Amino acid sequence: MKSYLNDSIKKYHLKELILFAIPLIIGQVGQMLFSVGDTFVAGKFSTIALSSIGVGSAIISPAIMFGIATCFSISAVASRLSGEGHSIKESDVFTTGLSMALIFGVVITGALYLGAPLIKYIGLNAEISSAVQIYVRVVSFSVIPALLYQAIKEFLQAMGDTFFANLLIIIFNIFNIILNYLFMFGYGPIPSFGILGAAYATIITRTLMFITLFVYTEKKYHLPIAYSLQRKKELLKLGLPVGMGSLVEVLMFASVTVLVGKMATHISASHNIALNIAGLTFMVPFAINGTAGVKVAYAYGKKDIDLIKNYAIGCIILAEAFMLMTATFYTIFPTSIAYIFTTDPTVISYVGGLFFYVALFQIPDGLQVVMWGILRGIGESRIPMILSFTGYWLIAIPIGAYLAFNGGMLAKGLWAGLAIGLSIVSVLLVLTFRARLRKLSFLV
């Protein structure tokens, strides 16, 4: 048994994949902690600030996730070139990737800035409507450095340099909280900017993160300025469907949250607890998604079918082992988790039943996100985007809504619908991977 385990670890490169993924996991958790820090300080300032920043962040999140996910193509393309024997340092991926991120950053910033006045038409509480508009307009300028930072981070991942970029996220989390306190409450010569202070803190933090990572990369690798229109087309062809797929998923969860918002308060509170916990544990398979995109792309560049398969299986094993563990934890200790967030017995009771469906959701969710990375590694992103849209919007949401409102399951029905839709998507993505491998000429 021990010999078989050791052979499996070696065959599927599990140790290599774990060591590569750990900094990415830290970075992904760190990204989530930014919003936690903002929420924490805003809650200390005022309830209106807390609500306004929460709603504003929810509006900005889908747009920025679209841009970040589009940048995932940078690491995949660079890793493939490395597998083909090219020098990544001398390639045009770095400059071209930065220019792509800049363009998306400008477009997204413009859309958020110009679209902010439309927020007043979505029916927000009058107390926060104006504050949300102002917050979104100001924070929109932080999208540009955020995407430039992501572009460099993706390039470094292809170089196998994952530690520094992800360490920065943790360091700047602390910096962001300090700035939030200084600008929201004021200190010494710094006046109190209130909600605007949180927006200023976000802009400064993201800008300094980008500058720091850019200087580090330039000093360490001395990269040439080499732009290629053909490379940009390649990055867009692979990255845009990934960005759209991420947007589709984010909007799915936003829609579920809106539907739950029509239910009783204790159900909505229970859903928010479940969503936040599931979102936190999702960061692990999401980081393994990034690992798969890099490692599989490298094997793809080497034209090594066994290496592609073994990296893919290794990433699936890691993601599903972790999600099986979280699913078990949710099933056995649902009320203990709820106690961390609330002492309301009604909420705790409902969460206890809701976490069973959240547990069912874990396994397919981990598989589908890792399959996205694996397929991106072999240059396929269009079919996953189509499958995701179909599974989320034509299966998960309709079934979930039916179970919730017609079947009387309420929030549990919506989570059951998500589990069904994601299960179908994950199986189809695996079948797509197998079909794609058979079509690659160099694998015949």
200 contacts 137 by C-beta, under 8 angstroms = no
- Give tens-digit pLDDT for 407-419: 989 989 999 999 9
Please state, for a pLDDT cut of 90, what percent of the chain lies above it: 56
Which spans in 46-162 are helix H?
Answer: 47-70, 72-83, 93-115, 126-139, 143-158
Number of helical H runs and strand E runs in the chain: 17, 0
From residue 325, give the alpha-carbon distance in Å to each of 174, 288, 319, 360: 30, 16, 10, 12
pLDDT at residue 417, as a whole number: 94
What SS3 state is found at 252? Answer: helix
Residue type, 95: T
What SS3 state is found at 410? Answer: coil
Q: Average pLDDT over the chain, rounded to whole?
A: 88
Whether the pLDDT of residue 443 is over 60: the answer is no
pLDDT at residue 251, as a whole number: 86
176 contacts 34 by C-beta, under 8 angstroms = yes
Q: Report which of 302, 288, 278, 244 is spatially closest to residue 357, judged by C-alpha positions.
A: 278
Which spans in 303-381 are helix H?
Answer: 305-332, 334-341, 345-377
Average pLDDT over residues 16-31: 88
Sign of the C-alpha dihedral computed for residues 137, 138, 144 and 149 taken in this order? negative
- Give tens-digit pLDDT for 265-324: 788 878 878 887 888 888 899 999 999 999 999 999 999 999 999 999 999 999 999 999
Lookup: tokens for 304: 């090594």
Statement: the pTM of the whole predicted model exceeds 0.85: yes
